[in-house]
Amino acid sequence: MTSALPSNGTAPSASTPPDPLPDLVHRLAERLSARQWRLATAESCTGGGVASACTDRAGSSDWLERGWVTYSNRAKQEELGVPVPMLESEGAVSEPVARAMADGAARNAQVAVALSVTGVAGPTGGTDDKPVGTVWFGWHLPDRTWTECRCFDGDRSAVRRQSVRHALQVLVDALDGPPQEGSP
């Protein structure tokens, strides 16, 4: 009996855990599709990683509306309507900005569901108050918007990967349960 090797010609390591993103995206697609809801993403430090994970799934155009990469403060203000005074007083990596990004994405895309990610992926840019690995998330559903701050360990790539996974996992968890009209 023979088995095919991946395109790079090497067998996967038995100790390498499976990538959780395809399963998370599958679960997200099921939940959004069951409700006939669409998703918009607003990303900063992940640079479109959430939207990329979503579009890795065939048929994602059925439930993914659009995504913004708003890396600069100017982009956050122009594309998502984050108020300049908020950006100046709170900084881009903050609870009010994550909330405003999620709400702005939902509003501008005219969708029921949105998520936002803004953080310090490193290796530079951290401060005592916001060290490297600090990431604020925002999620918007028809009946609420909520935020969460996490601090992830690792290098820039690890912080970004963990951020994408966390943003999707929390949204899937919020959408768990039977679909009901007008509620998550």
Which CATH number characterizes residue 52's domain? 3.90.950.20
Phi–psi pair at 145, nearest 5 degrees = -130, 135
Whether this prediction's pTM lies above 0.95 is answered by: no
- Cβ proximity of 157 and 45 under 8 Å: no
pLDDT band at residue 11 under the 50/70/90 scheme: low
| Average pLDDT in the chain | 91
Give the per-residue pLDDT at 177: 58
Flag whether 16 is in a domain: no
* Whether the predicted pLDDT of 64 surpasses 60: yes
Q: What angle do CA 106, 134, 107 make, to 5 degrees?
A: 5
Flag whether 11 is in a domain: no
Beta-strand ranges (E) seen in 95-164 are 113-119, 134-141, 144-151
Q: Which residues, 6 or more positions from 141, have their beta carbon under 8 angstroms from its beta carbon? A: 112, 113, 174, 175, 184
Sheet with strand 113-119: strands edge to edge: 64-69, 39-43, 113-119, 134-141, 144-151
Question: What average pLDDT does the segment 140-168 reach?
Answer: 98
pLDDT band at residue 2 under the 50/70/90 scheme: very low
Question: What average pLDDT does the segment 40-59 reach?
Answer: 98
Give the per-residue pLDDT at 16: 74
Q: Which two three-digit tokens encode residue 20?
A: 């959780």
| Rounded alpha-carbon distances, angstroms, from residue 33 to 39, 41, 114 | 10, 17, 15
Flag whether 8 is in a domain: no
Flag whether 106 is in a domain: yes
Flag whether 14 is in a domain: no
Give the per-residue pLDDT at 15: 74
Give the per-residue pLDDT at 17: 80
Flag whether 74 is in a domain: yes
pLDDT band at residue 10 under the 50/70/90 scheme: low
Share of residues in the chain with pLDDT > 90 (%):
85
DSSP for 61-103 reads GGTEEEEEE--SHHHHHHHH---HHHHHHH-SSSHHHHHHHHH
* Whether the predicted pLDDT of 65 surpasses 80: yes
Give the per-residue pLDDT at 182: 43
Q: Tell me which residue of 114, 142, 121 sits closest to 50, measured CA to CA.
A: 114
Question: What average pLDDT does the segment 27-55 reach?
Answer: 98
Number of domains in the chain: 1
Flag whether 184 is in a domain: no
Give the per-residue pLDDT at 183: 41
Q: Which domain holds residue 129?
A: 21-175
Q: Which residue has the higher pLDDT, 7 or 130?
A: 130
